[in-house]
Amino acid sequence: MTNPLLTPWDTPFDVPPFAQIDDSHFQPAFDAAIAEGRDAIRAIADNPEPPSFANTIEAMELAEEALGRVLGVFYNLAGADSNDARQELQRVFSPALAAYSTEITQNAALFARIDALWSARGDLDLNEEQARVLMLTRRSFVRSGALLQGDDKMRMAEISSRLATLGTEFTQRLLADEGEWFLELSEADLDGLPAFVIDAARSAGEEKGVSGPCLTTSRSLISPFFEFSPRRDLREKAFHAWTSRGARGGKNDTRAIAAETLKLRAERAALLGYDSFAAYKLETEMAKTPDAVRGLLMEVWEPAKRAALRDAAVLEAMLHADGFEGPLEPWDWRYYAQIRRKAEHDLDEAELKPYLQLDRMIEASFTCATRLFGLEFKPLDVPLYHADVRAWNVTREGHHVAVFIGDYFARGSKRSGAWCSAMRSQKKLGGAVAPIVVNVCNFAKAANGKPNLLSYDDARTLFHEFGHALHQMLSNVTYESISGTSVARDFVELPSQLYEHWLEVPALLEEFATHAETGEAMPADMLKRLLAAQTYDQGFATVEYVSSALVDLDFHDGAAPADPMQSQAETLERIGMPRAITMRHATPHFAHVFSGDGYASGYYSYMWSEVMDADAFEAFEENGAFDVATAKSLEDNILSRGGSRDPVELYTAFRGRMPGVEALLKGRGLVDV
């Protein structure tokens, strides 16, 4: 029997033939692809010809095509639609990939060729993109320990492999822990909840196989429950479950993994000659140093905390007026904030929600891309990996640009959160390749075929992930290693967060926010109130986020803490964390930091990018929200460029200068505090 992962795909736009792929195909395809990559790398390293850019760097770019194909499919499924077999494969692949990549970075003959090219770079007649790829390739070898010798080199390999295993283990334990907890609700427990929360609770009950409604840790269910349930006892119970994810003891507890991870990261940084893991990590980011990150976070922290404490006093008075004694607790915040929002902005999430239909919001996100960049979206009928998943053919002036796949609904087999990934990245080397880009979200699916409705936050998430998708789809580079979102971590959120701003353009919601039952447009007054409410409760949101970012930075700036929970407590004490607010992600479920090292000492990145997106959108405010010339400059200077230039240069080319924090503080409504 042939393995569809190893044969050419006779499908529209080479979309993976999901209907023919079985879990039993992954291991043999993985083994064959690794073997192919290993042979290709060996041929490059042992090439008797003197090193050239083409026979070394370009050959490396092409060495892992088969592997990229297999992993593109596999990791998409493992994240969006997991099962026992896929989890087991992840446990096998993860250390094998780490070992493979260590084998490459420790290949002395290969590194000698790269280093020789680097020394001769002035004479190689490289274009700007090639020079950048050479620099990045050599730097990643050096950072992986290519200059280490003897025991240090061995230890480095051990650490990398162990860290990869720990990252997978953290993810899997957390997923298992999140999947295990649920709280059955009686009909009386539903009192006061809006219909969409009740629907979501009934759907969750069906999925869990219980007779009635239930509450799960899915963000789009539990978060509105905190906002709307008048039952303080249930909110407290649910809140403890929500915030103790990964810290309930037993086989799914992640705390020991976090501690070991931090220790190994610090050791790796020391081996490579850095003061700390943060110093090592930030070298390749726009921020460059831990001090620059701390500077930004603290510049925002104090105004945010002042706003939050002022709000806490108002909410606590509301709690007391309800007949409760004692201080405002974290499980009270969202509930009273929602009531206050309604009172001050007369904005009722339940009233708003029928206007935010998933399909209309998808259309809105597409239409923006049509108006700005001339992209068109047509449904594409191909077999995908789950009945809820949809695909579109993306074209411009009749030419195929990309395949876009949307996987929007929460289900037990999907990890939490929302993300964008490229199942296949854009590149031109070896023949032009158009990308296949996937957006995965966790929106609650309506029961009984009712229209799927989003909260405003959900709609923002949809736009956010679609912004990442545009960065992938509009990518126009030669080399895959710098394609699309392959950029510095603190730059990668710029396109996504920038795209969220279009959701705030009144003309867009006027057109697409139509009522699910009546089809009527959102009343002008409601729209006005909705947009005015966007800076509401930003003290809370900013405190939640910045505290997480500071805990992450402290974990990695200096010696590794023996007890991360203790270190977390010390950081929160030092910065004066308001008692009624908790971190957005506490350590035991801080997947950004512990599922891999992508966002380790990098959680600040969202805010670093926000400094830019707030400023970048001002360019559109100055010239018009759908000004095509500004959009073209954004595409030419940023969206199409991937990692082909230093992000400071890319941003400056678009905007003429780098921004300060003013636009961000203004955007969050924190300037007057």
Which residues carry out catalysis? 465
Check if the beta carbon of residue 190 is closer than 8 Å to that of residue 201: yes
Smallest distance, Zn ion to C-beta of residue 493, A: 5
Smallest distance, Zn ion to C-beta of residue 495, A: 9
Smallest distance, Zn ion to C-beta of residue 222, A: 21
Would the CA dihedral through 22, 72, 265, 217 be positive or negative? negative
Q: For residues 523 and 598, which CB has a smaller minimum distance to Zn ion in the complex?
A: 598
Residue 601: left (phi > 0), alpha (psi -120 to 50), or beta? left
Q: For residues 490 and 537, which CB has a smaller minimum distance to Zn ion in the complex?
A: 490
Record the tokens describing residue 566, joined without a space. Answer: 């203790």
Q: For residues 366 and 419, which CB has a smaller minimum distance to Zn ion in the complex?
A: 419
Report the b/e string of 35-58 with b at 16+ CB within 10 A. Answer: ebbbebbeebbebeeebbbeebbb
- CA-nearest of 169, 141, 156, 147 to 264 is 156
Angle between helices 150-180 and 255-271 (to 10 degrees): 160
Q: Residues touching Zn ion: how many (CB under 5 A)?
A: 2
Q: Output DSSP code: residue 450.
A: P
Task: Please give the full DSSP string across 380-430, using - where no structure is assigned.
Answer: -----SSTT-EEEEEEETTEEEEEEEEEEE--TTS-SS-EEEEEE--B-TT
Q: For residues 64 and 500, which CB has a smaller minimum distance to Zn ion in the complex?
A: 500
Q: Which stretch binds Zn ion (CB under 5 A): 261-269, 405-413, 487-495, 525-533?
A: 487-495
Smallest distance, Zn ion to C-beta of residue 492, A: 7
How many whole angstroms separate alpha carbon 586 and alpha carbon 243?
Answer: 7
Q: For residues 472 and 496, which CB has a smaller minimum distance to Zn ion in the complex?
A: 496
Residue with tokens 């695909």: 391
Contact flag: residue 496 with Zn ion (CB under 5 A): yes
Q: For residues 354 and 667, which CB has a smaller minimum distance to Zn ion in the complex?
A: 667
Residue with tokens 């790398």: 41
Smallest distance, Zn ion to C-beta of residue 499, A: 10
Residue number, nearest CB to Zn ion: 496
How many whole angstroms separate alpha carbon 182 and alpha carbon 656?
Answer: 52
Q: For residues 331 and 606, which CB has a smaller minimum distance to Zn ion in the complex?
A: 606
Contact flag: residue 421 with Zn ion (CB under 5 A): no
Smallest distance, Zn ion to C-beta of residue 463, A: 11
How many whole angstroms separate alpha carbon 400 and alpha carbon 369?
Answer: 15
Cα 225 off chain centre by: 24
Q: Output DSSP code: residue 358.
A: H
Q: For residues 512 and 606, which CB has a smaller minimum distance to Zn ion in the complex?
A: 606
Using CB under 5 A, which residues numbered 12 to 41 contact Zn ion?
none
Contact flag: residue 439 with Zn ion (CB under 5 A): no
Q: Which stretch binds Zn ion (CB under 5 A): 210-218, 281-289, 490-498, 610-618?
A: 490-498
Smallest distance, Zn ion to C-beta of residue 241, A: 26
Q: Which stretch binds Zn ion (CB under 5 A): 172-180, 396-404, 495-503, 565-573?
A: 495-503
Contact flag: residue 630 with Zn ion (CB under 5 A): no
Q: For residues 599 and 651, which CB has a smaller minimum distance to Zn ion in the complex?
A: 599
Contact flag: residue 538 with Zn ion (CB under 5 A): no
Q: For residues 107 and 496, which CB has a smaller minimum distance to Zn ion in the complex?
A: 496
Would the CA dihedral through 310, 313, 318, 319 be positive or negative? positive
Smallest distance, Zn ion to C-beta of residue 420, A: 7
Smallest distance, Zn ion to C-beta of residue 357, A: 23
Q: For residues 490 and 554, which CB has a smaller minimum distance to Zn ion in the complex?
A: 490
Largest CA distance in the chain: 83
Q: Which stretch binds Zn ion (CB under 5 A): 186-194, 276-284, 491-499, 554-562?
A: 491-499
How many whole angstroms separate alpha carbon 336 and alpha carbon 314?
Answer: 9
Smallest distance, Zn ion to C-beta of residue 598, A: 11
How many whole angstroms separate alpha carbon 232 and alpha carbon 236?
Answer: 6
How many whole angstroms separate alpha carbon 576 and alpha carbon 564?
Answer: 18
Task: Tell me how crowded residue 570 is: count the other CB atoms within 10 A of its CB.
Answer: 14
Contact flag: residue 568 with Zn ion (CB under 5 A): no
Bridge partners of 240? none
- H helices present in 418-563, as ranges: 456-473, 489-500, 506-512, 524-532, 538-556
Q: Which stretch binds Zn ion (CB under 5 A): 6-14, 196-204, 273-281, 485-493?
A: 485-493
How many whole angstroms separate alpha carbon 509 and alpha carbon 526?
Answer: 11
Q: Which stretch binds Zn ion (CB under 5 A): 11-19, 334-342, 493-501, 567-575?
A: 493-501
Report the b/e string of 81-104 with b at 16+ CB within 10 A. Answer: bbeeebeebbeebbbebbebbbeb
Residue 374: left (phi > 0), alpha (psi -120 to 50), or beta? left
What is the three-class DSSP state of 538? helix
Smallest distance, Zn ion to C-beta of residue 224, A: 22
Would the CA dihedral through 132, 429, 488, 671 be positive or negative? positive
Which residues contact Zn ion (rule: CB under 5 A)? Answer: 493, 496
